[in-house]
Amino acid sequence: MSGLQAPRGAETIVKGIAGEFGRPLKVVSAPGRADFLNTHQDYKGLPVVPVAVNLRTYAAAVSKLPDGFEVVSLNLRREGREFQDRFPPKPQLRGRGWFGDYLRACVIALSEYGYELKHGLKVVIDSDVPAGGGLGSSAALEVAFLKLLDSYYGLELEKSELAELAFKAENAIMGIPCGRLDQYGSAYGRAILLRTRPPYRVEELSLEGLKLVIADSGIKHRVAAIHPVRQAEIEQGLTQLLELEDLPAEVRSLLGKRYWEPKWEELKLEVLEPYLSRIDPKAADRIRFTLLMHRSTVIALKLIREGSLLPDELKEVGTELGAGFQEALGAVM
Indicate whether 314 pLDDT > 80.
no
Q: Give residue-wise pLDDT tens across range 132-177.
A: 888 999 999 999 999 999 999 999 999 999 999 999 999 999 999 9
**Going by DSSP bridges, is the β-strand pair 120-127/69-73 parallel, antiparallel, or unpaired?**
parallel
pLDDT of residue 2: 47
What span, in angstroms and rounded, lies between the C-alpha atoms of 189 and 53? 8
Indicate whether 79 pLDDT > 50.
yes
Residues 6+ apart with CB under 8 A from 153: 115, 117, 118
Whether residues 61 and 114 fall in one domain:
yes
Q: Give residue-wise pLDDT tens across range 206-240.
A: 888 778 888 877 777 677 778 899 999 999 999 99
Whether residues 158 and 245 fall in one domain:
no
Q: Give residue-wise pLDDT tens across range 14-35.
A: 999 999 999 999 999 999 999 9
Indicate whether 63 pLDDT > 70.
yes
Whether residues 199 and 229 fall in one domain:
no
Is 246 assigned a catalytic role? no
Whether residues 41 and 165 fall in one domain:
yes
What span, in angstroms and rounded, lies between the C-alpha atoms of 39 and 147? 26
pLDDT of residue 310: 64
- Total tally of structural domains belonging to the chain: 2
Instruction: Judge whether 210 lies within some domain.
Output: no
pLDDT of residue 328: 43
Whether residues 255 and 282 fall in one domain:
yes
pLDDT of residue 329: 45
- Which one of 35, 126, 182, 285 is the catalytic residue? 182
Burial 158-190 (b: 16+ CB within 10 A, else e): ebeebbbbbbbbbbebbebebbbbbbbbbbbbe
Whether residues 256 and 154 fall in one domain:
no
* Among 260, 266, 208, 211, residue whose Cα is nearest residue 234: 260
Whether residues 151 and 273 fall in one domain:
no
Q: Give residue-wise pLDDT tens across range 109-130.
A: 999 999 989 899 999 999 999 9
Instruction: Judge whether 2 lies within some domain.
Output: no
Beta strands in the chain (DSSP E): 26-37, 49-65, 69-73, 84-87, 120-127, 192-195, 201-204
Whether residues 229 and 188 fall in one domain:
no
Whether residues 176 and 35 fall in one domain:
yes
Q: How many CA atoms lie within 13 A of 317 on its CB side?
A: 14
The pLDDT-based confidence of 5 (bands split at 50, 70, 90) is low
Burial 259-295 (b: 16+ CB within 10 A, else e): bbebebeebebeebeebbeebeeebbbbbbbbbbbbb
The pLDDT-based confidence of 309 (bands split at 50, 70, 90) is low
pLDDT of residue 311: 65
Instruction: Judge whether 215 lies within some domain.
Output: no
Instruction: Judge whether 126 lies within some domain.
Output: yes
Whether residues 143 and 94 fall in one domain:
yes
Indicate whether 47 pLDDT > 60.
yes
Whether residues 194 and 129 fall in one domain:
yes
Whether residues 72 and 155 fall in one domain:
yes
Enclosing domain of residue 250:
223-331
Instruction: Judge whether 216 lies within some domain.
Output: no
